[in-house]
């Protein structure tokens, strides 16, 4: 921001209204990079532009990126809060706290509209009659929870909305993790009892669940139904083991959420401790890059986004700092959730102790992440030294091919920025010009497609999965497309016995280069991500081709009807899950053909 722009902004600030409202910060390109709210717009903007120095040096750097701002005056503070939330969702400004970063945090969905509900992992809740639990901070944590439920409760694992009749049960029944209502007479009432136990478990009501299971076990024992009593006993013991891990944090059987935070110059971590019936049910951490917001603004923004799409909110949320807009935030949550939510900043007692504990957990998480990032930075510095680069390699891309004997050839690209995976930049490729198992030709095609009509920034390091052969292909392609290339190309080849390490090759050198263990490990991570992504894509395409070929085998289903089915259902996966009545209103598909399709997939799967 030059002096003339700074003068214009300062002049505009002095004439800004003192009413409540929302302000939108813009960069030199006119893009909105930050949205904020204020009781007094002039006072809030003055704190940015008329203040000579800020406590945080990073704030000064961010403010220099602001070239203009707009304001929207609102009737009152509550309206400003609602408008701010709407504008952040719409524009997704770079420097705002955003809980949903590229993709939403995972939730567990329990479909209550079915007589035999099942659990699934989703990224977005909908008003569809289902119950949603979460959000979970990572896919790993939600899958661990799901694995525990599947181990303890015999709920079905198949994902058809309504269960399909089968001639024999699947493997889950054989290993005693499903009741198999698709094959055996399991009443909806009996099944719903298990569903209610799962709901208690996911709500964190583990002690209540243990009490309920014990009562049920004794009832079976009184009837001398010892087989069912033993089943309930085993389930109760599994839940009791989980309960042992849940520490009692208060003497009262209360439901609280405790939200703490920790920050440094680069990032902020929020920690949410869920206390259910007086026990710590779980602790989740959420990490964000530093923005323009103050600490209390970040906390308010996090709470608003965290709870607005959450079905199950405790009546009391304890926060570790004092909030400037506490009353309006409470009214906002009450409006969106149709229930009273109390935000409490305690000064003494066990609530204060829990708030301090949440802050300590957030600080520990931030320290661990900082330590991990320092390791990555050292690996990047060692990689820079090994490859003799002029600067740290910020963007590293890796390409890999996947096929089985040349069939359904595909490729993938993984991208790491600052040593971390940038999944939004991952790409999948269908190989279009190569027939048969020819890795060199496939690599040539995808690199040509990547760089010929380049609409992305070039990488600092381009890595191909393979040895000198693939590296030579990459070098020749880039010589043709980018004669004055400035970035580095390397190849990574797997070790062969008796070698102990994977090998890194660079152009114009026969032998692999010497590289530190941490830099090699980082490159292996990037290669493995590309490999995983390529294999995953190949499996998807193979399954899609397999299912499509099954349609070809059904009498009367030719290319035209196949196209109609795909257009109606949206995917072959949904055709596979469809019931006979789902085909009823599809023009050109008779009842007999519908029966053949359903029968074909049932027999196959």
Q: Where are the domains of the chain?
A: 3-91, 107-245, 256-368, 395-532, 553-604
The reported pLDDT for the residue numbered 102 is: 38
pLDDT grade for 101, boundaries at 50, 70 and 90: very low
pLDDT for 365 beyond 50:
yes
pLDDT for 278 beyond 60:
yes
pLDDT for 42 beyond 60:
yes
pLDDT grade for 3, boundaries at 50, 70 and 90: low
The reported pLDDT for the residue numbered 415 is: 96
Can you tell me the mean pLDDT for 578-593? 78
The reported pLDDT for the residue numbered 396 is: 96
Can you tell me the mean pLDDT for 124-138? 78
pLDDT grade for 92, boundaries at 50, 70 and 90: confident
Span between the terminal Cα atoms of the chain, in Å: 63
Q: Are 172 and 157 in contact (CB under 8 A)?
A: yes
pLDDT for 4 beyond 60:
no
Q: Are 482 and 417 in contact (CB under 8 A)?
A: no
Can you tell me the mean pLDDT for 93-108? 70
The reported pLDDT for the residue numbered 11 is: 84
Q: Is the peptide bond before 498 cis (omega within 30 degrees of 0)?
A: yes
Question: What percentage of the chain carries pLDDT values higher than 90?
Answer: 28
Can you tell me the mean pLDDT for 368-373? 90
The reported pLDDT for the residue numbered 220 is: 83
Fold of 3-91: GIY-YIG endonuclease (3.40.1440)
Q: How far from 11 is each of 30, 45, 99, CA to CA, in Å?
A: 19, 11, 34
**What whole-number distance in Å separates Cα of residue 2 and Cα of residue 8?**
10
Reported CATH class of domain 256-368: alpha beta
pLDDT grade for 58, boundaries at 50, 70 and 90: low
pLDDT for 521 beyond 70:
yes
pLDDT for 604 beyond 50:
no
Question: What percentage of the chain carries pLDDT values higher than 70?
Answer: 90
Greater confidence (20 vs 573) lies with 20
Cβ neighbors of 24 (< 8 A, separation 6 or more) are 32, 34, 35, 69, 70, 71, 72, 87, 91
Mean pLDDT over the full length of the chain: 84
pLDDT for 78 beyond 60:
yes
What three-state secondary structure class fits 176?
coil
Fold of 395-532: Nucleotidyltransferase; domain 5 (3.30.420)
Task: Identify the top-confidence range among 24-38, 298-312, 375-389, 549-563.
Answer: 375-389
Weakest mean pLDDT among 208-212, 346-350, 502-506, 599-603: 599-603
Architecture (CATH level 2) of domain 553-604 = Orthogonal Bundle (1.10)
Which residue has 């009262």 as its token pair?
252
Same fold, 256-368 and 395-532: yes
What three-state secondary structure class fits 457?
coil
The reported pLDDT for the residue numbered 374 is: 92
Q: CA dihedral in degrees (38, 40, 46, 51; nearest 10)?
A: -80
Cβ neighbors of 496 (< 8 A, separation 6 or more) are none
What three-state secondary structure class fits 518?
helix
* pTM recorded for the entire structure: 0.66
Q: What is the pLDDT of residues 189-225, one digit of tens each?
A: 888 888 888 888 877 777 777 888 888 888 888 888 8
Q: Are 412 and 91 in contact (CB under 8 A)?
A: no
Can you tell me the mean pLDDT for 148-157? 81
**What whole-number distance in Å separates Cα of residue 99 and Cα of residue 305?**
6
Closest CA to 111 of 198, 238, 208: 198
Given phi > 0 = left and psi -120 to 50 = alpha, else beta, which region is 72? beta
Greater confidence (391 vs 186) lies with 391
pLDDT grade for 576, boundaries at 50, 70 and 90: confident
Greater confidence (462 vs 1) lies with 462
């Amino acid at each position: 921001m030059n002096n003339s722009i700074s003068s214009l902004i300062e002049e505009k600030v002095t004439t800004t209204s003192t009413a409540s409202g929302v302000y939108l910060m813009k960069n030199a390109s006119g893009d909105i990079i930050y949205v904020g709210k204020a009781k007094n717009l002039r006072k809030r903007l003055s704190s940015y532009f008329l203040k000579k120095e800020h406590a945080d040096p990073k704030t000064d750097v961010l403010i220099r990126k602001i070239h203009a701002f707009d304001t929207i005056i609102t009737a009152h503070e509550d309206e400003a809060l609602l408008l701010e939330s709407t504008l952040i969702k719409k524009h997704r400004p770079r420097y705002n706290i955003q809980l949903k970063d590229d993709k939403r945090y995972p939730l567990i969905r329990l479909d209550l509209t079915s007589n035999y509900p099942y659990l699934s992992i989703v990224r977005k809740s909908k008003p569809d009659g289902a119950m949603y639990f979460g959000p979970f901070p990572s896919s790993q944590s939600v899958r661990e929870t799901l694995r525990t439920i599947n181990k303890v409760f015999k709920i079905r694992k198949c994902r058809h909305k309504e269960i399909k009749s089968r001639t024999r049960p699947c493997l889950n029944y054989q290993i005693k993790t499903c009741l198999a209502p698709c094959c055996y007479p399991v009443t909806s009432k009996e099944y719903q009892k298990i569903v209610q136990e799962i709901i208690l478990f996911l709500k964190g009501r583990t002690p209540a669940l243990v009490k309920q299971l014990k009562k049920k076990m004794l009832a079976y024992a009184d009837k001398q139904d010892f087989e069912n009593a033993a089943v309930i006993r085993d389930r109760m013991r599994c839940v009791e083991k989980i309960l042992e891990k849940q520490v009692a944090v208060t003497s009262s059987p209360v439901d609280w959420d405790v939200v703490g935070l920790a920050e440094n110059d680069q990032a902020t971590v929020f920690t949410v401790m869920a206390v259910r019936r007086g026990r710590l049910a779980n602790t989740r951490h959420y990490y964000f890059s530093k923005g323009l917001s103050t600490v209390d603004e970040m906390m308010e923004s996090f709470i608003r986004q965290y709870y607005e799409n959450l079905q199950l909110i405790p009546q009391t949320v304890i926060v570790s700092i004092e909030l400037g807009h506490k009353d309006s935030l409470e009214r906002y949550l009450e409006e969106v959730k149709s229930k009273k939510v109390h935000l409490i900043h305690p000064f003494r007692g066990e609530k204060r102790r829990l708030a301090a504990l949440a802050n300590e957990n957030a600080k520990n998480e931030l320290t661990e992440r900082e330590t991990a990032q320092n390791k990555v930075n050292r690996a990047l510095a060692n990689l820079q030294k090994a490859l003799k680069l002029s600067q740290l390699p910020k963007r590293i891309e890796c390409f890999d091919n996947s096929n089985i004997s040349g069939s359904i050839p595909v490729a993938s690209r993984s991208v790491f920025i600052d040593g971390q995976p940038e999944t939004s930049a991952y790409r999948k490729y269908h190989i279009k010009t190569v027939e048969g198992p020819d890795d060199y030709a496939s690599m040539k095609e995808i690199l040509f497609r990547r760089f010929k009509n380049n609409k992305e920034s070039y990488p600092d390091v381009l890595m191909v999965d393979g040895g000198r052969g693939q590296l030579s292909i990459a070098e020749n392609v880039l010589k043709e497309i980018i004669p004055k290339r400035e970035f580095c190309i390397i190849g990574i080849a797997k070790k062969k016995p008796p070698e102990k390490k994977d090998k890194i090759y660079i152009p114009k050198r026969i032998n692999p280069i010497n590289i530190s263990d941490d830099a090699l490990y980082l490159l292996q991570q990037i290669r493995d991500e590309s490999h995983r992504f390529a294999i995953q894509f190949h499996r998807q395409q193979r399954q899609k081709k397999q299912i499509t070929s099954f349609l070809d085998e059904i009498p009367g289903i030719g290319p035209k009807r196949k196209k109609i089915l795909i257009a109606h259902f949206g995917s072959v996966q949904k055709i596979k899950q469809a019931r006979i009545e789902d085909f009823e209103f599809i023009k050109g598909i008779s009842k007999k053909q519908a029966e053949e399709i359903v029968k074909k997939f049932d027999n196959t799967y």
